[in-house]
Amino acid sequence: MPETPRAQAREDARFRILDLLEQQPELTQRELASELGVSLGAVNYTLKALAEKGLVKLRNFRASERKLGYAYVLTPAGVSEKSWLAGRFIQRKLKEYEALREELEALEDRYGAPEGKVR
């Protein structure tokens, strides 16, 4: 059964959050939302789901002498899930790229290539 666009968007969000957290575990939910261009609520919801599945853990760390910070750390299962999601994300994006390339070629055949572009 083909995936719905909504299911694909959720999967993409999980991948992007896991990928960013692996690189920068100290990011806040607000920073994640800003970086991904999604709502804070969407990030909060996704992080809770990832934590419930055991894919991320929240850890305390001292950001400065007066302030405690938190880090979202990927578990081994989270790293595995991120790799699996990365493969699916890449496959999906390659299909999108191929469809867009075919559409552009059809438009160029119909209307000609833009100035300065050589095929």
Q: How confident is the model at residue 69 (pLDDT cuts 50, 70, 90)?
A: confident
Residue 48 CA to residue 51 CA, distance in Å, equals: 5
Residues in Cβ contact with 70 at an 8 Å cutoff, skipping those fewer than 6 apart: 26, 28, 58, 59, 60, 61
The answer to whether residues 97 and 26 touch, using CB atoms and an 8 Å cutoff, is no
The answer to whether residues 83 and 92 touch, using CB atoms and an 8 Å cutoff, is no
Q: How confident is the model at residue 70 (pLDDT cuts 50, 70, 90)?
A: confident
Enter the pTM of the model: 0.80
Domain definitions of the chain by residue range:
5-109
Topology classification of domain 5-109:
Arc Repressor Mutant, subunit A (1.10.10)
Residue 116 per-residue DSSP state: T
Average pLDDT, the chain: 89
Q: For residue 119, what pLDDT is reported?
A: 56
Classified as helix, coil or strand, 70 is strand
